[in-house]
Structure 1
Amino acid sequence: MTPYDVRRATDRFHTEAGWLDSHHSFSFSRHYDPANTHFGLLLVSNDDIVAPGTGFDTHPHRDMEIVTWVLSGSLVHQDSEGHNGVIQPGLAQRMSAGAGILHSEKNDTGAAAAPEPVHFVQMWVLPDEAGITPGYEQLDVSAELDRGGLVTVASGRPGHDAAIRIHQKDAALHVARLAPGESAALPTAPYAHVFVAKGSVDLEGAGPLAEGDAVRITGAQGQHLTATAPAEVLVWEMHAAIAGA
């Protein structure tokens, strides 16, 4: 297996439903490829654009850690546990589906003076334990992002106490906002998933990456990624893979 598995934006599965424009890095919903179901512990990485005044109606989840990162606009969350939140750029959200939860996600700018789509990436990882009590957490990390480098925004790893906690000790999500020429070093991990959410970068060992491109790295060793245009990059650090997969 090559240590750098580059997946171009145009190679992703695509769902277009009028109100939703979604690109899927892995098999999802009606899109299925048995050779592309996950990487490490990451099962879903959906790049979604939702039109104003629309969104995902109430639907169920179970036994999944779901992390949402908004790139532009605002996303309203409501769930059956009584949690409510508005997620905007710089604010990370984690929902633990656990024993079972119902939730909705809406772009509520339809009635606003200047309605705009909401653009976000939603990622799912398997939890350590099935059947936990459902939970919700959000955290504004804008100030940390402005200081540069990779910022840990969601983690179950030791030493990441300032991040949103996920119930998976072998995974962490890091985000970097980089100006042209700025660099960040990847974490050292058996599995790393790098997704260019905005802009473009050059990744040591893999080469140029454009918006929507991803790299699945087996054996990340601190490789540097350098922005070639203003960029926002999401990096999953994973120290285990799905058992038996």
Structure 2
Amino acid sequence: MKSTFYPANGRGTSDHGWLKANFSFSFAGYHNPDKVHFGALRVLNDDIIAGGTGFGTHPHDNMEIITIPLQGALEHKDSMGNIGVIHAGEVQVMSAGTGVEHSEYNHSKTEPANTLQIWLLPKFRNIAPRYDQRDFKNAFKKNEFTTLVTGDKNVDALWINQDATFSIGEFDAGQTIIYDIKNQGNGAYIFVLEGVVKINDQLLNKKDALGVIDTSSITIDSQANTRLLIIEVPMLQ
């Protein structure tokens, strides 16, 4: 097993007043040649959006876009005719495919929203654009992972155009957690949303991450009450 540590304080940052962003990988004005992507994982932005503000209509193509609100809610509108609100506990996926335009705004006029905006490079290019979202609040079980997103249509989760799996879980302190790689050859990007974990003697605190490759399973020891997001992706060059 090989691993790369991505400390929270090593992320790129941007402060536009209405938007405070942390970039795990090169994005917009932040460029780090050592942090361009982790396999098919191209973007992981940890955004705090002020009340009454957001991203105006803008285009995407040939990218798999996953939105996970951690706090608050976002209003979504796109050129496919989808209009709605996505809350914390829900997940949104969008295959931009041949091209789509969308906007995202904080649903609250006064309270900030904290959202993870994640982009994956697609498995197949120029597919028809598609959109989906799901409420997972009743699916979560303590000390277990819940699959949110997958490229396997046989799994009860949101589908995307990539051989990837997104799993999230809340774990009590003192738990030993085994994560099994779903697709042979995939790597796993382990992102600590809350708490503290140890993986192969590497301690990870809140918003730290560890990229792991060349293994079929990962053992994670929770050092405190912890919430984890694992993004498993093909290790594209």
TM-score range relative to shorter protein: over 0.9
Equivalent-residue separation in structure 2 for 1:162 and 1:16 (angstroms): 38
- Please state how far the C-alpha of 1:182 moved relative to its aligned partner: 3.4
Equivalent-residue separation in structure 1 for 2:224 and 2:121 (angstroms): 33
1:150 maps to a residue whose letter is: F
Structure 2 residue matching 1:43: 3-state secondary structure:
strand
1:148 maps to a residue whose letter is: N
Can you list the C-alpha shifts for 1:143-189, whole angstroms capped at 9, x where unaligned?
Answer: 22234311110010364x20100011x21111112232334322225
Whether 1:198 and 2:201 are equivalent positions in the alignment is: no
The Cα RMSD (Å) is 1.7
Q: Contact 2:141–2:169 at 8 Å: present in 1 too?
A: no
Give 1:23-62 correspondences, 5 Å limit. 23-62=22-61
Q: Contact 1:150–1:184 at 8 Å: present in 2 too?
A: no
Equivalent-residue separation in structure 2 for 1:46 and 1:4 (angstroms): 21
Give 1:61-210 correspondences, 5 Å limit. 61-110=60-109, 115-157=110-152, 159=154, 161-168=155-162, 170-188=163-181, 189-190=184-185, 191-203=187-199, 205-210=200-205
Equivalent-residue separation in structure 1 for 2:20 and 2:175 (angstroms): 31
Structure 1: gaps spanning 5 or more residues: none
Distance 1:73 1:38, change over 3 A: same
Distance 1:206 1:66, change over 3 A: farther
Equivalent-residue separation in structure 1 for 2:213 and 2:201 (angstroms): 12
Structure 1 residue aligned with 2:208: 213
Structure 2 residue aligned with 1:11: 10
- Please state how far the C-alpha of 1:122 moved relative to its aligned partner: 1.2
2:217 maps to a residue whose letter is: G
Structure 2 residue matching 1:143: 3-state secondary structure:
coil
What's the TM-score, normalizing by structure 2? 0.92
More displaced, 147-156 or 23-32? 147-156
2:177 maps to a residue whose letter is: A
Percent identity between matched residues is 35
Equivalent-residue separation in structure 1 for 2:137 and 2:82 (angstroms): 22
Q: Contact 1:150–1:176 at 8 Å: present in 2 too?
A: yes
Structure 2 residue aligned with 1:241: 235
Equivalent-residue separation in structure 2 for 1:206 and 1:38 (angstroms): 24
Whether 1:224 and 2:201 are equivalent positions in the alignment is: no
2:121 maps to a residue whose letter is: L
Can you list the C-alpha shifts for 1:91-117, whole angstroms capped at 9, x where unaligned?
Answer: 11101111111111111211xxxx321
Equivalent-residue separation in structure 2 for 1:154 and 1:49 (angstroms): 23
What's the TM-score, normalizing by structure 1? 0.89
Aligned length: 234
More displaced, 137-146 or 224-233? 224-233
- Please state how far the C-alpha of 1:24 moved relative to its aligned partner: 0.6
Equivalent-residue separation in structure 2 for 1:183 and 1:75 (angstroms): 34
- Please state how far the C-alpha of 1:12 moved relative to its aligned partner: 0.5
Q: Contact 2:23–2:45 at 8 Å: present in 1 too?
A: yes
Q: Contact 1:192–1:219 at 8 Å: present in 2 too?
A: no
Equivalent-residue separation in structure 2 for 1:228 and 1:86 (angstroms): 35
Equivalent-residue separation in structure 1 for 2:85 and 2:215 (angstroms): 34
Structure 2: gaps spanning 5 or more residues: none
Can you list the C-alpha shifts for 1:112-148, whole angstroms capped at 9, x where unaligned?
Answer: xxx3211111111111211111111111122222343
